[in-house]
A = this chain, B = another copy of it.
Amino acid sequence: MIQIRDPVHGYIYANELEYNIIDSPVFQRLRKIRQLASAHLTYPGALHTRFEHCIGSMYLAKRAANHLKSQEIINEDMSNELSIAALLHDIGHGPFSHLFEEVLHEKGMTHENITDRIIRETEIADILSKFGINVKKFSNLCVGTSKNHPRFMNDIIAGFLSVDSMDYLLRDSYFSGVEYGKVDVHRIIDAYEIAGKKLAINKDSVYALESLMLARYEMFRAVYFHKSVRASAVMIIRAMNLSDEELHFTDLNNLDGFLQLTDERILYNISNINSNSENSKLAKKLVIDYTNRKMLKLVFEKIVLGKDKFSTKIFAQRKFRENLAEEIAEKSKIPKSHIFIDVSTATSVPTTSTKESFNEITVLLNKTRKKEFEITKATELPLMNAILGYMNIIRIYTTATYKKKLDTTVKGIFEKEVL
């Protein structure tokens, strides 16, 4: 047993298997991937990394496992697997965490199986095997998609009620120094129930579920979707995107190469790029501006409440955003490359919990006299719906030079569009 002092949870204990994983270079690499990517430029304390977050998630998974063991729902082996899966759930994260995911996403790619490959192809596999874990059967549990484990185990690793969610809310709040994001994790874990193989929450604790929802919502508003936080994020995303043809970040065939990438390394590589392509030059400029904190300027912002045709399109379709950027570029006589359209929805944040998965996973359980379940989808709760429908933000940024010019053009366009 080794002991780790964590500012969020206090002492965290790791057994030999866990410690071996933590001590491996593949895992130690997470020390160089900041949990909130560029947010520390806005919230100076937010320097924490995926490393601490993964260990914190493991802690909560143990807590959850104890709860389920005491009710004889899972056995010791399953308990261990939960703990390890939580520890490894972010092992596949690339540089700048979710920003890298956004880059992949924009390219129509997915990082789904990087995690899987890292677990199967690196020293992690050896460590797991040595301690008697069947790597092949186990690996998908780490991303919450295992068919070899009951659905609720997947739900505990990934999804709205997951230990991942709870840890990042608490941790991001602590290091950012905001008052939001305080979640009563012990109350929620103690309210875990199993309903038809799925993770559910006891009806008596529905307010704890709401509280988690509210904490998450507040962190989105105050931190994750903060306009300055997104300004810096957009710069990094665009710079990675533009330099990719030169630097091949998204070439995931080369796993070793991927495992070398850290936040600092990306900045270094892009700022040392030596190419005449327009894309590369712009990427380089963005990274240098980022380093010198010459941030993009906001010219338009809109919180979308209802669901009209326009907003549905702009959130769902990359093509539509491309066209809009082109239209703006044309009307304003500004190069399209200096127009940044940012749409923030629940999917563009550090969580696997999309509105869809939220809809599916969370259920409310009511043990009636006949031992039947009364299941309510979380989205049927009025509060949930109000909040969920309130996290869509459209923003347009530009470089400082074009701020003024764009200001007027954009207003003209959007008055017409009745946004």
Contact residues of A with B, CB < 8 Å? 4-8, 10-11, 23, 25, 28, 31, 40, 43-45, 47-49, 51-52, 55, 174-180, 182-184, 186-187, 190, 207, 210-211, 214, 217-218, 221-222, 264, 292-293, 305, 382-383, 385-387, 389-390
Contact = CB atoms under 8 A, between A and B. Distances in A.
A263 to B, nearest CB: 10
20 contacts: A5-B45, A6-B177, A7-B175, A44-B51, A44-B52, A47-B47, A47-B48, A178-B184, A179-B182, A179-B187, A180-B211, A182-B182, A207-B222, A210-B218, A210-B221, A211-B218, A264-B264, A305-B382, A382-B390, A385-B386
Given A11-B186, A44-B51, A383-B390, 20 more contacts: A5-B43, A5-B44, A5-B45, A5-B177, A5-B178, A8-B177, A10-B177, A11-B187, A23-B293, A25-B292, A47-B47, A47-B48, A47-B49, A182-B182, A210-B221, A214-B218, A382-B390, A383-B386, A386-B386, A386-B387
Given A179-B182, A292-B25, A390-B383, A45 B7 contact: yes
Contacts of A182: 179-180, 182
Q: How many monomers of this chain does the complex have?
A: 4
A183 B179 contact: yes
Contacts of A25: 292
Contacts of A178: 5, 184
Contacts of A210: 218, 221
Contacts of A383: 386-387, 390
Contacts of A11: 186-187, 190
A304 to B, nearest CB: 11
A207 B211 contact: no
A211 B182 CA distance: 12
Nearest to A46: B7
Contact of A45 (B40, B44, B48, B186): B48
Contacts of A44: 4-6, 31, 51-52, 55
Nearest to A385: B386
